[in-house]
Structure 1
């Protein structure tokens, strides 16, 4: 979707078109207020019914059922898209009628400013979804998207504050008990994965049917009713709905009907003489839930549900997944026994079973949230991409390279003195090294070993981390904070607050490792390969070591007539002079070595600084690496931050 399109969209409408009931909610895109339920015929939930009246035209919901003179009545018509003209017409007419009523009552704007999100079972394939979307758009709603109901249930639970952030990132099992199917969906780090059971017809309308069959079987005018139903199917539809209401009444007030004398009752009159009165109480419901049903291959509803939950458990066990939360939704999740079965098969404290308090509204509200979230998340990603694609990151890193060099010079110079210069000179003092040429080689080897060893790398590491946290971090936050403010999510979402020390950061964010390894390698190479080391050793030997020897040994050691310039003297001395062992300790006692090391430190730091600064090419590589690391890390952060968008 293009950005200007999302700018025009003011509201997202969650359209929960269920097999049994339909509900609609609306969210305002620019706000983080919870979505609001919309009403049709003054009701927030409607029976999914479409009626035709010769004078009044199409009616939906209760009106289609109650209005006298309705000649055609369709109920329970939501199913997978199929090439049946009647099915297609019923569905698109129902949606078009709903759309018209919502616009006429001024509850939605409609047109280009309203984006519809319609739910479908999570088990539907992508092609089912696309087909369904086309069919619904043919009702005259262009801006319409079909998304899995499980995603809506998850979003509603997350936003209504029922799920904590840690649990969101683990796995959540959603059990959606609808009127025609029971869907199981695993949501793992925000991706929904349907758990497939092949033919899934375990819907709560089977219970309505059983109540209907039972009432009909016991009816004194059974034969007559069967004739009426065959000839006027809308009468049967009405009687089945009466059974459905009886069931809902029973499960909403179970404790009332545990008494053998009290019944949940429904009522439907066929004419003045014939009534259809379904009734249930605890005893009857127990019987119905345990009776074998043809639709379920002779299993009872209760048994089939238990087996479905068990199968979901086995499938998750195979993958080694224990869901932290089991979310129950769908109107039929009001049946208490379903909670007990779920809790029994997924016991606490590993899994918490959370039934939705308003299952008939959950999906509509969730769909409106999913819609708003989609639009805002897309816009959010675009903002971050804009930052990544600009050259702001590169500028920001280059700006702070001098400070990185500064942070490195002092501890590295210090380390080289302690680990290469001082021990080398000590060896010479103790007569373990003969000539100064040997001393030069020994120092060079020690320096290389030390630089490639753990301690030097740790120093470079820590200095880089400190540079990243003190210099790069705040500048980056100045770029990302306004984006977070705009989308009303915590600023920390796009910050690398914890430091880039990989031990603290989400393991996905290998920014620390990648950048540090690169930097360490690069700096070690510059120092060893780039002649830095050679200049440092020459500086030590010539400036602070050879000269005093030359003065002491001056004439005797050097062929007469040789000019006393440093370079010549140094080369001659380096190769030839082997100061006698007994003289060495007095010539260079420990205090003198200390003084010498102290004098060398600032000079060494300067050589480091100059050499590292001069090595522009290496640092260009480093800038590119850090930038790449930041981009990767930011995109991971974006994936995490998206969860927080409302």
Structure 2
């Protein structure tokens, strides 16, 4: 089955900004940042005209919007049934997708998958409501994925990356996503884990500063009364003014030392006969950072530090060591964020890796697209691996099953004959077993019990590995390596160097089906011939006669009669001890005979083949999971 040619679109609809990225499924695919109005990142805003036309992104601020037209900004939040909220979110989302099609960045939708992000602490019902909100027959139904996990995936694929898959598998990674409206904390352990160890967050975002700067700038305006009157007459002025305040805030945090006392300059906006200009400097920002939040005794920075301490306690309580911290999100460039992280975590444990996302604007969108591609390729790889295993492996194992017996039977005889057969025959000679049938059952039981010991299990595993590496494994890779190349899995990743693990064979209810019937039947032969040769004078003559003229009858006699006969002790004593002990020297002969009997037993061979397939399937599935970690 070939890999379908699909494009995965990551849609980061943030409270402050929007970005989109796309990546196809084919091998060595390159990520592409999609553009909205010729820009890779746009403000999450739109203008709705009374004729129904929609202008999205920064274009919405190009002119003053007069009622009844509407200018909408900062409208993203958890999915609700509120009509105005649903209308704003849907129109913005659909208009953005239509723009991609109109600009031929997405020629058609039938081969596209959309993945949209959400705060990591959203519950499943909230995610389902969010998905339903954006469902429209005109476009693919979007999938909803945690923004923090997407950001982590994006950062781990960058050139010169600091964070690795080993960091996730060996300990915990803390992802801190500081956005415009929320700050989310996600604690992750394990590269392939579907669920994080802990998700939590707070409605604590950089838009708080936009609001405070806006209020302060209006209050300090030379014509404040007139400005407030104009705002009351046209609510569309507020988003324009807040947009300027956001630009001033971002410019300040790009170089705070340059604006310790002087105001940031981002221009002004003429509103009626009044000028509005945002006022931002170091003195004001220091005040905003440390003043108590509304309905709280804590400031912005104190609240953030409390959340950091909570994350630290969560990791410690779960018994994990923190290996790395990833700071992402549009607000991550605020300097006091980094300093707080260093104070809470890095001063005490400087060995913790700390990485700040170098491209927070694209991080989530890129990670969402990569997440979609990676998940598809993993599922496709596992499905195709299973198909190859089901279709090719049974024939391959059956073709080499005799080689498995060639290795197994001699090693098994090396244990069974000295430990169980020879002592059992001496016990039979002494009359401890009434019949050889009872002796045979005893040997079979002892052998089965031994096979369930660590030594027996290790024997089967070592036999399986020796058999695998003699050639079966190479033929297996002949089928698997092409799948690896199609799914961006490095060739050779599915090389099962130890396909048979001893612990996987320990199952008392379903022991590995070593067919012991040929062995115990051969014991019947041994006893029969020992007795025949022990007969006075006529032994050799009778033996020769039986060998040439009555072999089938002897087989039948051994299977049906001799094993049930309770021989007199006197007759048993005629069996020479040396003859019994000599069996230890005949292991090779006994092994060959046993192997011939097993090979001719279709049922026994099918049981062995099915068990080999069962254990190989488990290992192949494990290896497929491991190999899928290489998919980027």
Alpha-carbon spacing, 1:65–1:579, altered in 2? closer, same or farther (3 Å)? closer
Deviation track 1:121-173 (CA, whole Å, cap 9, x = no partner) reads: 22223333333333323494234333222232122123326332322435432
State the shift of 1:197 in Å. 4.5
Alpha-carbon spacing, 1:314–1:378, altered in 2? closer, same or farther (3 Å)? same
Structure 1, unmatched stretches of 5+, are 503-509
1:191 is matched with 194
Query: 2:80 and 2:438 mapped to 1: Cα distance?
Result: 84
RMSD: 4.1
1:190-589 correspondence runs (5 A): 190-193=193-196, 195=198, 197=200, 200-257=202-259, 260-271=260-271, 273-294=273-294, 297-347=296-346, 348=349, 351-388=352-389, 390-416=390-416, 418-419=418-419, 452-453=449-450, 458-502=458-502, 512-514=504-506, 521-523=512-514, 526-527=515-516, 530=517, 532-533=519-520, 535-536=522-523, 538-539=525-526, 554=537, 575-576=569-570
2:550 is matched with none
- Asked if the contact 1:342–1:353 (Cα under 8 Å) also holds between the matched residues in 2, the reply is no
Query: 1:519 and 1:38 mapped to 2: Cα distance?
Result: 56
Query: 1:564 and 1:261 mapped to 2: Cα distance?
Result: 117
Deviation track 1:394-438 (CA, whole Å, cap 9, x = no partner) reads: 22222222112111222333445555677899x99xxxx879999
1:610 to 2:560 alignment: no
Alpha-carbon spacing, 1:265–1:229, altered in 2? closer, same or farther (3 Å)? same
State the shift of 1:458 in Å. 4.3
State the shift of 1:203 in Å. 1.2
Alpha-carbon spacing, 1:414–1:639, altered in 2? closer, same or farther (3 Å)? closer
TM-score using structure 2 length: 0.82
1:69-80 correspondence runs (5 A): 71-80=69-78
State the shift of 1:180 in Å. 0.7
**Count of matched residue pairs:** 603
Alpha-carbon spacing, 1:28–1:341, altered in 2? closer, same or farther (3 Å)? same
- The worse-fitting range, judged by mean Cα deviation, of 617-626 and 328-337 is 617-626
State the shift of 1:360 in Å. 0.9
- Asked if the contact 2:187–2:197 (Cα under 8 Å) also holds between the matched residues in 1, the reply is yes
State the shift of 1:31 in Å. 4.3
- Asked if the contact 2:430–2:569 (Cα under 8 Å) also holds between the matched residues in 1, the reply is no
State the shift of 1:69 in Å. 5.3
Query: 2:430 and 2:65 mapped to 1: Cα distance?
Result: 118
State the shift of 1:174 in Å. 1.9
Work out which of the residue numbers 30, 47, 54 in structure 2 matches 1:34: 30
Deviation track 1:461-495 (CA, whole Å, cap 9, x = no partner) reads: 42233224435433332222221121121234433
Query: 2:195 and 2:432 mapped to 1: Cα distance?
Result: 71
- Asked if the contact 2:462–2:500 (Cα under 8 Å) also holds between the matched residues in 1, the reply is no
Query: 1:32 and 1:461 mapped to 2: Cα distance?
Result: 38
- Asked if the contact 1:8–1:112 (Cα under 8 Å) also holds between the matched residues in 2, the reply is no
Work out which of the residue numbers 81, 99, 105 in structure 2 matches 1:83: 81
State the shift of 1:645 in Å. 2.2
Work out which of the residue numbers 8, 13, 34 in structure 1 matches 2:9: 13
Query: 1:518 and 1:206 mapped to 2: Cα distance?
Result: 63
Deviation track 1:367-389 (CA, whole Å, cap 9, x = no partner) reads: 2222323333333333234334x
- Asked if the contact 1:121–1:150 (Cα under 8 Å) also holds between the matched residues in 2, the reply is yes
Query: 2:211 and 2:119 mapped to 1: Cα distance?
Result: 22
2:90 is matched with 92
Structure 2, unmatched stretches of 5+, are 547-553
State the shift of 1:8 in Å. 6.2
